[in-house]
Structure 1
Amino acid sequence: MYLRYVLFSFKGRINRSIFWYWNIAYYLLIVFVVGMASKAFPMQAEWISAIFLLLMLYPDLAVTAKRWQDRGKSNWWLLLNIPVIIGRLSIPAAGVAATGQFQLWGSLLALICGAWILIECGLLKGDDAENKYGPVPI
């Protein structure tokens, strides 16, 4: 039940360690699935990767939302994920050879937003007391 709460609920708070456990597992799973898709289905690997990333989007946003709430911030801060999500989905489709001003500025924006999310959700401490999103996570 706790795993279902962490991955599929946008309510409540989680601490930094749960956020880090999720992100480590998430990125390892991405590397594994993309690697296996590239070997097993090289012609369809881009589509398989994109579909997998879309399936993992909901749990990733749910975990991140709970970290924002632990910091006393609303789910509106999830909007910072938009450039990151677009960047993740465009990498398999665009390949390494994609260039241009739009790609450059989009990548820079995704990097800045991703760094902000990492610092706020992954490094900074949550509220020390109960806030409007719930009690202090254990």
Structure 2
Amino acid sequence: MLWKWLLSFKGRIGRGRYWAANCLYLVVLLGAFGFASYVTPGNENVKNPWSISAFIIAGVFIFLSSAAVCVKRFHDRGKSGWWFLLFYLAERMGSFFQPGSATIETPVQFFGFLLEVSAVLWIVIELGILRGQDGVNRYGPDPRVLAAA
């Protein structure tokens, strides 16, 4: 059931499971950091293949799982899962306009920053705050009804 919740693109999930999945991603990421620090103490983590492997595995899991969870949240909101692609592209484009920069020095970097922040705010409001559709929709039964049963 856990793998279906985290990796299946079918069905609907409520806000609670969405936030639980995001907390799990934080734990996975902290676990990767902890493992990397354990196998290579100091500042050598970037050069250690075990550290790199831990971050690759964690990153692939988090990306695939978050895509599945976001698609199911969009389904709960009555929208196609393709909306996730729009969010992802907007967020990536924001990063593209400010490559490796910790400061905003040009109008292009400012545009990238606004695009990225807007995408993140939109996804938090759309998936994390707004309630899903009541009752059955074309993506499946209401997850609140399933949880109450």
Instruction: Work out whether the TM-score is over 0.5.
Output: yes
Change (3 A) 1:44 1:115: farther
**Separation in structure 2 between the aligned mates of residue 87 and residue 50 of structure 1, nearest angstrom:** 23
CA shift at 1:31, angstroms?
A: 3.6
**Cα distance change on mapping 1:76 and 1:23 into 2, 3 Å:** same
User: For residues 63 and 28 of structure 2, what CA distance do their matches in structure 1 show?
Assistant: 13
Identify the structure with bigger relative contact order (alpha carbons < 8 Å, sequence gap 6+): 1
Indicate the residue corresponding to 1:15 in structure 2. Answer: 14
Q: Point out where structure 2 has 5 or more consecutive residues left out of the alignment.
A: none
The reply to whether residue 33 of structure 1 matches residue 32 of structure 2 is: yes
- Relative distance call for 1:38 and 1:85 in structure 2 (3 A) is farther
- Residue 46 (structure 2) aligns with: 43
Whole-angstrom distance in 1 between the partners of 2:35 and 2:102: 19
Residues 83 and 106 in structure 1, CA contact (< 8 A), matched pair in contact too: no
User: In 2 relative to 1, CA 3–70 (structure 1 residues): closer, same or farther, beyond 3 Å?
Assistant: same
Partner-residue secondary structure (3-state), 1:94: coil
Radius of gyration: which is bigger? 2
Q: TM-score, normalised by structure 2?
A: 0.72
How far the C-alpha of 1:50 sits from its partner, in A, is: 5.9
Segments of structure 1 that go 5 or more residues without pairing to the other structure are none
Q: 1:105-120 alignment to 2 at 5 Å?
A: 105-120=111-126
The share of aligned pairs that are identical, in percent, is: 35
Moved more, 21-30 or 124-133: 21-30
Structure 1 window deviating more from structure 2 (25-34 vs 57-66): it is 25-34
Q: TM-score, normalised by structure 1?
A: 0.77
Aligned alpha-carbon RMSD (Å): 3.4
Q: Read off the aligned partner of 1:44 and give its amino acid letter.
A: K
Give distance in 2, aligned partners of 1:37 and 1:82. 30
Pick the aligned partner of 2:140 from 121, 125, 134: 134
State the alpha-carbon separation in 1 of the partners of residues 102 and 87 from structure 2: 24
Distance 1:8 1:128, change over 3 A: same
CA separation of 1:100/1:56 partners in 2, compared to 1, >3 Å: closer, same or farther?
farther
Q: In the comparison of the two structures, how many residue pairs are matched?
A: 135
